[in-house]
Copies of this chain bind each other. A is one copy, B any other.
Amino acid sequence: MTATTSSTSGTASRPGGRSAKVRAAVHRAVQVVVSEDSLDVLTIPVIAARAGVHATTVYRRWGTVGDLLADVATSRFTGDLVVPDTGSLRGDLERYAFDLAKDLGDPDTLALVRATIGTGGEQGAAACRGERERGLDAILERERARGGQPPALEHTTDGVLAPLYYRAVFTDLPLTTEWARDLVARLLPDDDA
């Protein structure tokens, strides 16, 4: 409740401390509940019980299920996506798309995304993007440093990120690697290999 956003991990993030363990346990519990159970039991007491923590703790540190989901989504979608470096723009983008497709194709991840969008509000939805666009920008920047002329970040987002998210969230179509490769192929001109 005390500025959930910044200070959630603020005073309680000394690695190895009890706070950090509680935080990790709660995060795991959220993922488990979101994945296994129905969405209508996604409540603080249930999560706390799954985490082996008292509900009071969760109420005090996060306050709302929405804030908790946004926090989980933030730490889930930031930092674990390594920016590929294959040497070519096309290779980087394809690798990027494959990784993202694999990630969003995971039912657990998808359930977390959907729940976070619904309950986490505006910042929850933003947390689901995480650092994806930053990673994309890094790829384009590297190509620029190589002397190439990559498409704009906006075009790349529209052409690669958006279809992956849309198909994952709104449809039940599979996120195949062939389709992901097509997305990159349609974005880049066909002249180079």
Enumerate chain A interface residues (CB-CB to B < 8 A).
39-40, 64-66, 114-119, 121-122, 125-126, 128-129, 154-155, 157-159, 161-163, 165-167, 169-172, 179, 183, 186
Contact = CB atoms under 8 A, between A and B. Distances in A.
Given A39-B119, A115-B118, A125-B171, 19 more contacts: A39-B121, A40-B65, A114-B121, A114-B125, A117-B117, A117-B118, A117-B170, A118-B118, A125-B169, A125-B170, A157-B163, A158-B159, A158-B183, A158-B186, A159-B186, A162-B165, A165-B170, A166-B166, A169-B169
Contacts of A116: 118
A16 to B, nearest CB: 34
A158 B166 CA distance: 8
A128 B170 contact: yes
Counting every copy of the chain, the complex holds 2
B171 A129 contact: yes
B40 A117 contact: no
5 contacts: A39-B66, A117-B169, A159-B186, A163-B166, A169-B169
Contacts of A114: 117-118, 121, 125
Contact of A172 (B66, B122, B155, B158): B122
Contact of A170 (B40, B121, B129): B129
A172 B128 CA distance: 13
